[in-house]
Amino acid sequence: MFKILQLLESSRFIKTYNVSDFKQGANFYYFKIKASFKDGSILHIREYASREERVYSYHWQDKDKRLICRWDNAPHYKELKTFPHHKHISEDVVEDSLEIDLESVLKHIERIFEK
């Protein structure tokens, strides 16, 4: 969890973040975080990991709650090269995704802000 908080605190584009849930056991962790960016957009972060599996969703929406992009690894879209990893770039468009953790998602978002 420390690395996740470091990533959020080191981003120059994140205004605030709130950890709404965190659980940890001997063989798993789960967290749910809401990060607000300086432009008013929000990243909803959810991740569960154990020795057997890792499930994540990073849902980025604009200030009007419209989807910008959502990255997740729900096991559908088997035709994608990066299955089960994928990103929703609109409600109807799903693409391959190489961004499979919070660090790579934040780097992607920051590149967009830097344009």
- Looking at residue 1, its pLDDT comes to 65
CB 35 within 8 A of CB 43: yes
CB 11 within 8 A of CB 110: yes
**Digit-coded pLDDT (tens) for 43-96:** 999 999 999 999 999 999 999 999 999 999 999 999 999 999 999 999 899 999
Which region holds residue 90: left if phi is over 0, alpha if psi is between -120 and 50, else beta? beta
Phi and psi at residue 72, to the nearest 5°: -160, 175
The verdict on pTM exceeding 0.75 is yes
pLDDT over 90 (residue 2): no
- Tell me which residue range forms the domain holding 21: 2-114
Residues pairing with 46 in the sheet: 32, 57
Reported as a pLDDT band with limits 50, 70 and 90, residue 38 is very high
Number of structural domains the chain divides into: 1
Phi and psi at residue 30, to the nearest 5°: -145, 135
- Looking at residue 91, its pLDDT comes to 87
* Rounded average pLDDT over 24-49: 97
**Digit-coded pLDDT (tens) for 5-29:** 999 999 999 999 999 999 999 999 9
Which of the 8 DSSP states describes residue 64? T
